[in-house]
Structure 1
Amino acid sequence: MREARQIGEFANQLRGHLIQPEDPAYESARRIYNGMIDKRPALIARCADVADVMRAIRFARDNDVTLALRSGGHNGAGLSLCDDGLVVDLSSQKGIRVDPQARTVRVEPGCTWGDVDHATHAFGLATVSGIISTTGVAGLTLGGGHGYLSRQYGLTIDNLLEADVALADGSLVRASAEEHPDLFWALRGGGGNFGVVTSFLLRLHPVAMVQAGPAFWSMDDAEVILKWYREFMPRAPRELYGFFAFLEVPPSPLFPSGLHGRRVCSVLWCYSGPPERADEVLAQVRGVHDPLFEHIDTVPYPLLQGLFDQFYPPGLQWYWKGDFVNEIPDEAVDKHGRHARGLPTPLSTMHLYPIDGVVQQVASDATAFAYRDCQWSSLIAGVAEDPADGDRVRDWARGYWQDLHPYSAGGSYVNFLEEEGEARVRSAYRGNYERLVDVKTQYDPDNLFRRNQNIPPR
């Protein structure tokens, strides 16, 4: 790293804290959501404000230090950390301001989606996010962002109105449709390649209560249910969202004790349309194929968003693989069933997230997110509590993915990539990749921001 004097000067310039390996806070500060990641940065700058972020960028640039960006810390590949370098830790920047008249929310990069949902729900509003409330706003948004409201309101990036960005040269700019439009285009799906976003302005929608809940079917019926789902979901009203999953029923009072530990196929439903149409729409999915368990009820949207938090706390061992999917032919259904019956641990799972509806109404080159023509984003997640099971869940996820990848659209949601190499990053962006290289070359010609799914400058 650098000389002690330079590090001391840097620490004195920060309003936040500079954490080093000898500090008591270091061990907790270097931990992220995925317990499989074990990296040891030389410095962790817990930035208090935008000025701290700009100083940290300049320090890394001027001293040729590897730079990593951490907000929520949910990146599966652990790219929010680095060995030996500097981590710009944004987790303490949690300012949120809701404008109920304009139906917007301004969010700082340390916020999680649980923070945002708490603030916006007071006004009966919400925006598009993922399915786990502890996920950071920054990482999910910059990768695209899909979740329960996507069929009705698009991706998270389709609801991003502007962003303040600290650039590699140490300056701060605002990116929007009117200001730095090329940078704004790239931020919407291009990840953290172009700078540090210090503020997001997001559009809100009138979502307070939703009708939501799971249906479980026997694993013996997995192929039948998946074939029904692949036909039903694309035809469903856009206000109805349901993601398909293979899972083991957790030992929770939410579910009948007789199902605890049983492997099932499932769909988690969310209806966010007019309440007077709820019964009509949900009648199409209630009681289908004699479920083992079904419970759809009216719940606050933040409660649905936080449903999985209790089952997937920080520190578990994660290895995931993803792909975009257009069609699920019978041969793919059969392979899904075979791998699902071999779930290696109680927490391992496979999800198919629908990304049609309003998502498909945006042109594939209108943002960096290129897979606007796809029906689903798939995630195969090997998850374990015990580090000794790490290899087992990794091997299962890789084998499952290799079997199903030939039926994919070719690339993955960038937030579901591990460290898989340049070809997989290119495939995530398809025809948008070369334009992203142009923007990268303009805003980060020396590739300071390279601890990500990297798009190198020319």
Structure 2
Amino acid sequence: MGNSPSSLQQCIETVGNGRVGFAGFPSDPLYQITWVKPYNLDVAITPAAVVRPQTAEDISGVVKCAAANNVKIQTKSGGHSYANYGLGGADGAVAIDMVNFQHFSIDNSTWQATIGAGTRLGEVSQKLHDAGGRAMAHGVCPGVGIGGHATIGGLGPMSRMWGSCLDHVLEVEVVTADGKIQRASSSENADLFWALKGAASGFGVITEFVVKTHPEPAHIVQYEYTIAFGSQAEAAPLYSAWQNLIADPALDRRFGSMFIMMPLGAIITGTFYGTEAEFQATGIPKWLPKDAGGAIVINDWLGSLAHDAEKEALYLSDISTPFYSKSLAFKREDLPSADKVKDLFRWVDDQDKGTLLWFIIFDAAGGAIGDVAANATAFAHRDKVLYYQSYAIGLPLTGTTKNFITNFHNQVQAAASPGTYGTYPGYVDPALSDGQQQYWGSNLPLLEQIKLKWDPADLFHNPQSVRPASA
């Protein structure tokens, strides 16, 4: 940026008014380590600035600075974007780090909670628990920030029972592209609110959420089955039986489950929100493996979240690594047959992975998520019953590893029913040529119209965010 500050830097520093720790710039020593902190080390990125505001007024000022200098903006909450989209996804954006937005309160008459957008899910769970044994649906990775999670979907083991995280959002405070601090809900700025619930990265900076909550489940049963074997092909029949279970339209909504492939083994997890007697009465246990590899644990709410996070191998999620990932979403009719599953698992055995740090997660969905119409919010994947995502870490990340993940994805698509399409927008994949269509499906045209109204200059931008419709 030269020896003298740019007009953008001068503007941001004016907003900060001399506060230490308000903003960092590429000229700062250790900028990448202390300010940028990229999540995926395979995606090199240098923002024009990283700002850590303390108030909505700070954000308003920074938004105006970016707009005046024709610089794009993105917001980082937990910072776990697979392609570093919270940092802009490409060089030269202003990244707004919401780390200081940790406020929390709860109304004990309505049990609605107000949560700062920089709060991470582990803290959300703890704060709700401490505020009267309350809870809401969300994922199990404790380091993920609610600012991104609650605006892109937010799926977890309790989502089949309670719906997605964004389905709990009743109102937000948001700074829009004109720098205004606004409220958005179903009755105020309703079109913007609709877009924020599924595609917020293209529409504004949310500072806080007002959410509905539930009483914590009094009883939780957790099932776990670990298999160690010499080949993935041996696990194919087990996977097919599990897939048949989670695809059953009558599957009890209190049950969430994952099947996780990994080197030399697999794990089946199940979480049931009820008593062991109720779990047995559902009939689910008879479809799950019961030999010495299986176990049932009775847990409390916070303990169950910790257990799920551990089994999903995501306690490492706060460690920056070079990694590569692909994913796909399945409707019930898209699911592959047992013969195709067998071929898919056999294919995995024959591949050079280039790393021992890989895993593939199949995650049950459906239930209450599908009770909401696909066009009720920007989140479009209401008809999906299963998601898969592959994830491989390389130290360093090699072409061999990327080819394994990419070719596995191609094999999954070939095994699924023709026309299987779309993926969860939280699993961003910069390699997609039609990312917006895959993320938002039939809701994309309306999103583009709302974008034209609220952000016609495309100030809030990453490589796959919603673009304004042609005027």
TM-score (norm 1): 0.89
Query: Where does residue 304 of structure 1 map in the other structure?
Result: 307
Q: Match for 2:329 among 320, 324, 329?
A: 324
Give the letter for the 1:69 counterpart: T
Q: CA deviation at 1:64?
A: 1.0
Contact between 1:322 and 1:416, CA under 8 Å: does it hold in 2? yes
Q: Match for 1:176 among 182, 185, 196?
A: 185
Contact between 1:54 and 1:171, CA under 8 Å: does it hold in 2? yes
User: How far apart are the structure 1 equivalents of 2:267 and 2:347?
Assistant: 15
Query: Where does residue 121 of structure 2 map in the other structure?
Result: 113
User: How far apart are the structure 2 equivalents of 1:93 and 1:47?
Assistant: 8
Contact between 1:319 and 1:382, CA under 8 Å: does it hold in 2? yes
Give the letter for the 1:457 counterpart: P
Q: CA deviation at 1:9?
A: 4.3
Query: Where does residue 261 of structure 2 map in the other structure?
Result: 246
Give the letter for the 2:386 counterpart: W
CA deviation profile, 1:295-334 (whole Å, cap 9, x unmatched): 5331424423542444444112221111111223234412
Contact between 2:241 and 2:287, CA under 8 Å: does it hold in 1? no
Query: Where does residue 104 of structure 1 map in the other structure?
Result: 112
Give the letter for the 1:370 counterpart: A
Q: CA deviation at 1:168?
A: 0.6
Q: CA deviation at 1:127?
A: 1.1
CA deviation profile, 1:21-70 (whole Å, cap 9, x unmatched): 34346223211332323212231111112111111111110011232321
Query: Where does residue 18 of structure 1 map in the other structure?
Result: 23
Give the letter for the 2:180 counterpart: S
Q: Match for 2:412 among 404, 419, 431?
A: 404
Give the letter for the 1:203 counterpart: K
Q: Number of matched residues?
A: 442
Contact between 1:335 and 1:404, CA under 8 Å: does it hold in 2? no
CA deviation profile, 1:223-278 (whole Å, cap 9, x unmatched): 11111111112332110111111024xxxxxxxxxxxxxx2222111112356524
User: How far apart are the structure 1 equivalents of 2:29 and 2:196?
Assistant: 36
Query: Where does residue 432 of structure 1 map in the other structure?
Result: 443
User: How far apart are the structure 1 equivalents of 2:53 and 2:456?
Assistant: 24
Q: CA deviation at 1:293?
A: 4.3
User: How far apart are the structure 2 equivalents of 1:405 and 1:286?
Assistant: 26
Q: Secondary structure at the match of 1:186?
A: helix
User: How far apart are the structure 2 equivalents of 1:44 and 1:68?
Assistant: 10
Query: Where does residue 274 of structure 2 map in the other structure?
Result: 273
Contact between 1:325 and 1:376, CA under 8 Å: does it hold in 2? yes
Contact between 1:19 and 1:25, CA under 8 Å: does it hold in 2? no
Query: Where does residue 376 of structure 1 map in the other structure?
Result: 386
User: How far apart are the structure 2 equivalents of 1:150 and 1:128?
Assistant: 6
Q: Secondary structure at the match of 1:189?
A: helix
Q: Secondary structure at the match of 1:59?
A: helix
Give the letter for the 2:265 counterpart: V
Q: 1:54 to 1:151 in 2, by over 3 A?
A: same
Q: 1:201 to 1:338 in 2, by over 3 A?
A: farther
CA deviation profile, 1:84-109 (whole Å, cap 9, x unmatched): 33211112221122334422221112
Contact between 1:31 and 1:38, CA under 8 Å: does it hold in 2? no
Q: CA deviation at 1:376?
A: 0.7
State, as a whole percentage, how many aligned pairs show the same letter.
Answer: 22
Q: CA deviation at 1:438?
A: 0.8
Q: CA deviation at 1:191?
A: 3.6
Give the letter for the 1:346 counterpart: L
Give the letter for the 2:210 counterpart: L
Query: Where does residue 230 of structure 1 map in the other structure?
Result: 243
Matched, 1:137 2:160: no
Q: CA deviation at 1:286?
A: 8.1
Q: Match for 2:356 among 319, 339, 346?
A: 346
Query: Where does residue 362 of structure 1 map in the other structure?
Result: 372
Matched, 1:75 2:81: yes
User: How far apart are the structure 2 equivalents of 1:147 and 1:204?
Assistant: 15
User: How far apart are the structure 1 equivalents of 2:115 and 2:101?
Assistant: 9
Q: Match for 1:446 among 444, 448, 457?
A: 457
Q: CA deviation at 1:190?
A: 1.6
Query: Where does residue 284 of structure 1 map in the other structure?
Result: 285
Query: Where does residue 61 of structure 1 map in the other structure?
Result: 67
Which runs of structure 2 are paired with 1:199-210 in the superposition (5 Å)?
199-207=208-216, 210=220
Q: CA deviation at 1:392?
A: 3.1
Contact between 2:226 and 2:267, CA under 8 Å: does it hold in 1? yes
Q: CA RMSD in A?
A: 2.4
Question: After the TM superposition, which of the residue ranges 319-328 and 53-62 deviates more from structure 2?
Answer: 319-328
Contact between 1:335 and 1:403, CA under 8 Å: does it hold in 2? no
Query: Where does residue 259 of structure 1 map in the other structure?
Result: none
Contact between 1:151 and 1:239, CA under 8 Å: does it hold in 2? yes
Contact between 2:237 and 2:338, CA under 8 Å: does it hold in 1? no
Give the letter for the 2:329 counterpart: F
Query: Where does residue 418 of structure 1 map in the other structure?
Result: 429
